[in-house]
Structures are given as structure tokens and as C-alpha cells.
Amino acid sequence: MSSNKQILYISYDGMTDPLGQSQVISYMRGLSKQGYLFTIISFEKPDKFRQKGDEIRALLTRHNITWHPLIYTKKPPVVSTLYDFWRMNKLAFKLQKANNYAIVHCRSYLSALVGLNLKNRYGQAIKFIFDMRGFWIEERVDGKMWNLNNALYKRVYQFFKAKEQQFWKHADRIVILTNAGKQHMVDQENIPAEKIGVIPTCVDFDIFKLTTPTEQLQLKKQLGIAEQAKIFIYAGAVGGSYSIDVVFKAFALYRHYFKQAHLLLLTKDAVAINTSPLLQQYQINANELSVVEAPFTSVYQYLNIGHLGFVFYNQGWSNIARSPTKMGEYLACGLPVLVYGSIGDIDDLQNKLNIAIVNELTEKECFTAFDKINVDKDVQSIRAAAFDYCSLESGVAFYSGIYQEIQ
């Protein structure tokens, strides 16, 4: 039996990944309470699925969400992605035939290929949401994952640029993370403004919460961090659009300003970091560095002991449409944020949120930013301003509004 609240959600990101938990499942939990019935197709990394698959399935079942996980394949490049797409497309059509979903909600570009196929096959019987997030094609180029001098990657680039135009044309709604990205699409791509919805990456404030001074002290002792040390935090991936060199350079300036400082890296890429020759280049001693791979639901504990969170991407045009997930999580835990470079709507947000922007990692620019952050830190006010900007509740209301509009 069909229902106008049945939604097929397709994601090439895994639900066992932190991003899947924070930026997919968190929304769905809230939307499920409003009667929406989700079926998820996702691609899971084998190791993550072994570790957390049962836990995530139990969580989704509690919220009446059906999950069809497929195992992500990585090699060989391009061919493995084509194989994943074939499986994604086959399963989506099978599920659509059986369940007659009212909406197919596609997260990013590869999933949107399937959404477009469903739209072409079923027409107005199914609504197609292209949740593009950012400009993924340009992100791949800017992050040096697609070398356009390579004939294969150039063809892949051209293929997706052509498909992107079709996504924009045939989608019933487009979702992007920044007003700057939307404005580009309206001005340069002639997409009707009313077709595009903007929502920043949102944060579950029940997960990213505050801890007590006693809990913070205990965690510092556990990590071997001096009680008085000023803790510089970077949370996230290293590689691609995230160069660890930038983190070390920013921390070196932070340590020069505060003297007694500590670098806390919350990342899964610990081995590469601990063996990096850059530690010696920036004269970072082993006792000044902690590397932790924390479960998604435990990250808040580490953010609470910090004094400054760092956000950056390698420079590139695609940054216009980025809304850093970690920025909202930092702020939710009362952590001021240092942003390197112009990213998304950051310039418009700096007077509303406790963030400081530097365009160059120089002593002059960074020290000015550290002055501002050191003076302004007020945990409760930082958290309150962040809630107004990027609470999970606002994200749930946003998506519920879109679902109602297009039915």
C-alpha cells in the first residue's frame, strides 16, 4: 500500500559513518515522529559495518526506519563506483516497484543518478529531491581527487557536469547548504530561486552537549594534558581537501600566542599523523599532541575540554557551497571556532557566531583572531547562538516543509 509519507532515501555515504549518523539518521529520527516512513539505501565501509552495523540497525528499527545496507567497493577506481551504482539502481527500482514511494530523496550526486532514473521512469508519480549538499564535482577537482589532465577523470568530470544539468532541471526540489551557493545557481545557472532550499549542516544538541568542569578535568588527566594548557582541536579527516600541514601550521602559531598549548586531533587517520615529518618541521613534541579516534556519540566530551576549534578546506572555488559539519558541533559544545579561508556563508555569520576568520596563516592575522576568541568565550552564549543557526530541530522542520510542499 502506498502512502504520501513513504520516502526512499538513497545515500552513497554509510549510516555507520559519523556523517551518516549526524547528517542523515539524526534528521530521520525527528521526521519519523511526524509519521514519515523511510527506507534507506546506503553503502557501508566493510570495517565500519562490522563494528557498528548491528547497533545502527537496532537504532533505525526503534524509529520504524527500514535499512538496506550495501557494501561499498573502493577498487579499482571508477569501475568500482560503476558497480556500486548498478547495485544501487537495481535495488532502488526493486523497492519502488514493491512500495510505490511518494518521494525519492537523493543525497549528493551518485545517488541522484538513481533518482533521475526513477523520475524518468515514473514521472509525476514520484517526487525527486536532489539534496546536492555542495558542488561535489568541483570539490573532487579542488581536492585533487580528479586530475583533469587524466583522460579517464576528464570523461568522468564531463559526464557528471552533463548529468548535473539534468538533476537541476528534473528535480522537484534542490537542497544546498549555503545562501552563497544558491545565489550562484540562480545567477549563473538560471535555476528558479523558489526551487532551491538552503539548510546548513545541523547539529543534535542532545548529543553535542556540555560537560561539567569535573568531567573535563578527568578527561584531561586521562589524555595526559596539563590542566592549564590551552587546547587547540581539529576534528575530521586528513587528506584530500584536508591537509594536515595546515593544522600543524595553525597550531604552531596558537602555541606561540598562548605558550602552554596542546593539539588534540579527533581523527581516524592516526597512523599517518604520528609518523609525519611535519611534526619535526613545526617543532611539535609528542607530549603536545594527542590523537583520538572517538565514537560519534563521544566526540562532545573531547570538544568540551577545548579552547579553540579549527575549520578549513584546501582553497578552491567549491568552498562557496560548503557548510562545515564540525563548526556547528564545536559551537554546540561552547567552543569558539577559527576558520581558515572563505567558506560558504562564513563571512555573513562571523558577527552572529563566535567564529574568527583568517585568510592567511600569519602571526598578525592569527594573533588578532586569538585576541577576539580569548576575550569573547562564553560557553552558554556560544551555544545559544549556534542553536538558533544550526539546531537539528530547524533541520527537521526544513525537510518536513519540503516534503509537504512537493506532494
Tens of pLDDT along 312-343?
988 899 999 999 999 999 999 999 999 999 99
Residue 373: band (very low, low, confident or very high) from pLDDT cuts 50, 70, 90: confident
Q: Span 362-387, mean pLDDT?
A: 91
Residue 270: band (very low, low, confident or very high) from pLDDT cuts 50, 70, 90: low
Q: Span 200-204, mean pLDDT?
A: 95
Read off the DSSP letter of residue 27.
H
CATH architecture entry for 213-390? 3-Layer(aba) Sandwich (3.40)
Residue 33 has pLDDT above 70, yes or no: yes
Predicted local confidence at residue 1, as pLDDT: 37
The reply to whether omega before 46 is within 30° of 0 (cis) is: no
Predicted local confidence at residue 272, as pLDDT: 61
Residue 405: band (very low, low, confident or very high) from pLDDT cuts 50, 70, 90: very high
Per the model's pLDDT, the better-predicted residue between 147 and 277 turns out to be 147
| C-alpha–C-alpha distance, residues 385 and 376, integer Å | 13
- Largest Cα separation within the chain, whole Å, is 66
Predicted local confidence at residue 372, as pLDDT: 87
Mean pLDDT over each residue of the chain, to the nearest integer: 94
Which residues have CB under 8 Å from 366's CB, separation 6+?
Answer: 250, 253, 254, 257, 338, 358
Residue 274: band (very low, low, confident or very high) from pLDDT cuts 50, 70, 90: low
Predicted local confidence at residue 2, as pLDDT: 46
Q: Span 218-231, mean pLDDT?
A: 96
Residue 3: band (very low, low, confident or very high) from pLDDT cuts 50, 70, 90: low
Q: Give domain 6-202+391-406's CATH number out of 3.30.1540.10, 3.40.190.80, 3.40.50.2000, 3.40.50.300.
A: 3.40.50.2000
SS3 content of the chain, % helix, strand, coil (to 5): 55, 20, 30
Query: pTM of the prediction?
Result: 0.92
| C-alpha–C-alpha distance, residues 147 and 270, integer Å | 27
- For cell 592516526, what's the residue? 270
Helices (H), 100-212: 108-122, 136-142, 151-170, 179-189
Per the model's pLDDT, the better-predicted residue between 376 and 397 turns out to be 397
| Edge-to-edge strands, sheet with 230-235 | 289-292, 261-266, 230-235, 308-312, 337-340, 355-358
The rounded Cα 368 to chain-centroid distance in angstroms is 28
C-alpha pair distances (Å), 191 with each of 53, 182, 187: 39, 9, 8
Residue 189 has pLDDT above 60, yes or no: yes
Tens of pLDDT along 40-93?
999 999 999 999 999 999 999 999 999 999 999 999 988 999 999 999 999 999
Residues of the chain with CATH 3.40.50.2000: 6-202+391-406, 213-390
Q: Which of 65-79, 140-154, 322-336, 366-380 has the lowest mean pLDDT?
A: 366-380
